[in-house]
Amino acid sequence: MSDAAPVPSLRGKLLLIFDLDGTLVDSSPLHARAFEEAFAPHGVMVDYGTIAGMTTASAVERVAAGAGLQLDEEEKARLIGDKRARALRLIENELTPIAGAVEFVRAARPRFRLALCTSASRRGAEAALSRVGLTGCFDPVVTAEDVREGKPAPEAFLRALEAHGVPAGDALVFEDAESGLAAAAAAGIEAVRIDPADPSAVSWTQLLAALDEARP
Nearest to 59 by CA among 41, 84, 94, 91: 84
In this structure, what are the phi and psi dihedrals at residue 18, rounded to the nearest 5 degrees? -110, 135
- For helices 73-94 and 28-39, give the axis angle rounded to 10 degrees: 140
Catalytic residues: 19, 21
DSSP-derived 3-state class of residue 155: helix
CA 103, CA 207: separation in Å to the nearest integer? 10
CA 135, CA 188: separation in Å to the nearest integer? 28
